[in-house]
Amino acid sequence: MKRIFDLLLTFSAAIVLALPLALVALAVLLTSPGPVLYWSDRVGRHNKLFKMPKFRSMRVGTPVVATHLLANPKTHLTIIGSFLRKSSLDELPQLWSILVGNMSLVGPRPALFNQIDLIALRTKSGVHELLPGLVGWAQVNGRDEMLIPDKVNLDIIYLQHQSLLMDIKIIGLTLIKVLQKDGVSH
């Protein structure tokens, strides 16, 4: 049921967002040298690595670490990078990852391959059994400013209470957060 829900909503979103996707791609192309998409190595279900696409918001050559670990993240952003992140437009190419089955619409956000502490906590708690999501319970309850153990605790709550109704609630709360630009620090 969840996979059918993912596919129906993702196909619908891809159609509705086709023009904005094209415009963002063009904006990235015209405002900074380098590829339009950044393919990030992420940890998926059962801790398997997969390539997750995002519109590139950082300059080519930026160290491959979580943004909060950079000494001064703003110096690495492209001209439109901050806008893409605050509006969450940089996340839209992840619809592809949902279509191919590497991600779900709702689930724990996929960890970077080098976020060893996050991966270990998720594995210990069983959260690694879930498909990672475009949106998640932890993100609607804090997003960038949360500590990793707190995020994992919210991921555990999602694991224990996941349902279609909870997914719909998370999607709705995400839309509100995105429109309010709430919880984004970079």
State how far the alpha carbon of 39 is from the alpha carbons of 18, 80, 112, in Å.
Answer: 20, 18, 11
Give the ranges where the chain is alpha helix by DSSP (H): 2-16, 18-31, 81-87, 94-99, 116-125, 137-140, 148-161, 164-180
Map out the domains of the chain as residue ranges: 2-180
- Residue showing tokens 């999501």: 133
Per-residue pLDDT, 181: 66
Task: Give SS3 for 113.
Answer: coil
Per-residue pLDDT, 74: 77
Mean pLDDT by 10 residues, the chain (186 residues): 96 95 96 95 97 94 73 82 90 97 97 94 97 95 83 97 97 87 56
Per-residue pLDDT, 144: 64
pTM for the model: 0.87
Per-residue pLDDT, 142: 81
